[in-house]
Amino acid sequence: MSISQNLSHFKSHIPEHVCLIAVSKTKPNHLILEAYNAGQRHFGENYIQELVDKSESLPKDIFWHAIGHLQSNKVKYIAPFVHLIHGVDSLKLLQEINKQAIKNKRIINCLLQIYIAKEGTKFGLSPEECENIILSEKFRELQNINIVGLMGMASNTNDEKIVNTEFASLNNLFLRLNNELTKTHNLNLEHLSMGMSSDYKIAIANGSTLIRIGSSIFGERDYNQTN
């Protein structure tokens, strides 16, 4: 199937309130343009240099999502243009994003990444750490960031029960924070970023509003091939 066929397949199968982010990491510009020409506007990238290069050479009306783990010293490169930063996992990183947002006279949208997987390799905050950040005095001082939701990745397993439990736990945290803290703590929680090619259906069933799909749109990634 072609990229445009893959995209229209997704469009017809996901609810209208769910935004499809095409994850284009390692994929060359001509394939991204193929998706663009089929109407796709939201793209996600993990690696900062690649994200910057692509944003410079591709159409300016693309919404770029930084979905990977982000180091503080890289924030300045994406601050001028990034649409949404998904993987925010520390107060220090939020402070740096705020600083770079001020320099660029922007408000930068962020998601707090929550650790939900059983396996030990994924980044993210515990629910408690997340709440402590939101409740902190230092967080209140950050005027140029907008926390618009939470992000999480489930365990890489074929056991759908485990994946379902993990996504449900993130949705519960999302709902609880929305009930308890949104009005009083300068939060604007609208989005839950969860679900990839292998588990997006389970994610949507658990309240996801942003799905990050790579291989089911562009095909498998080949990390040995340089573009």
Ligand X SMILES: *Cc1c(COP(=O)(O)O)cnc(C)c1O
**Least distance to ligand X from the beta carbon of 69, Å?**
9
Q: Select the span of 107-115, 126-134, 172-180, 207-215 touching ligand X (CB under 6 A).
A: 207-215
The residue (of 44 and 139) whose beta carbon lies closer to ligand X is: 44
**What tokens appear for 85 in the block?**
């930063």
**Least distance to ligand X from the beta carbon of 163, Å?**
13
Any contact of residue 46 with ligand X (CB under 6 A)?
yes
Any contact of residue 67 with ligand X (CB under 6 A)?
yes
**What tokens appear for 130 in the block?**
């997340």
158 membership: H or E segment, kind and range: none
The residue (of 22 and 145) whose beta carbon lies closer to ligand X is: 22
What distance in Å separates the CA atoms of residue 88 and residue 147, rounded to the nearest whole number?
10
Any contact of residue 13 with ligand X (CB under 6 A)?
no
Any contact of residue 212 with ligand X (CB under 6 A)?
yes
Binding ligand X by CB under 6 A: which of 99, 197, 201, 207? 197
Nearest residue to 110 (alpha-carbon basis) of 190, 203, 195 = 190
Binding ligand X by CB under 6 A: which of 51, 196, 202, 203? 196
The radius of gyration of the chain from alpha carbons, rounded to an integer in Å, stands at 17
What distance in Å separates the CA atoms of residue 195 and residue 163, rounded to the nearest whole number?
10
**What tokens appear for 107 in the block?**
């408000």
Any contact of residue 32 with ligand X (CB under 6 A)?
no
Nearest residue to 32 (alpha-carbon basis) of 222, 217, 209, 226 = 217
# chain residues binding ligand X, by CB under 6 A: 13
Any contact of residue 68 with ligand X (CB under 6 A)?
yes
**What tokens appear for 168 in the block?**
């449900």
Q: Select the span of 8-16, 105-113, 160-168, 195-203 touching ligand X (CB under 6 A).
A: 195-203
Any contact of residue 27 with ligand X (CB under 6 A)?
no
The residue behind tokens 């994946």 is 163
For residue 217, report the phi and psi dihedrals to the nearest 5 degrees.
-100, -50
78 HSE (CA, 13 A, CB side): 32
Any contact of residue 227 with ligand X (CB under 6 A)?
no
Any contact of residue 164 with ligand X (CB under 6 A)?
no
**Least distance to ligand X from the beta carbon of 79, Å?**
20
CA separation (Å) from 82 to 8, 61, 85? 25, 12, 7
Q: State the virtual CA torsion across 186, 190, 194, 197 in degrees, nearest 10.
A: -140
Determine the residue with CB nearest ligand X: 214
Q: Contact positions toward ligand X, by CB under 6 A?
A: 23, 25, 46, 67-68, 196-198, 212-216
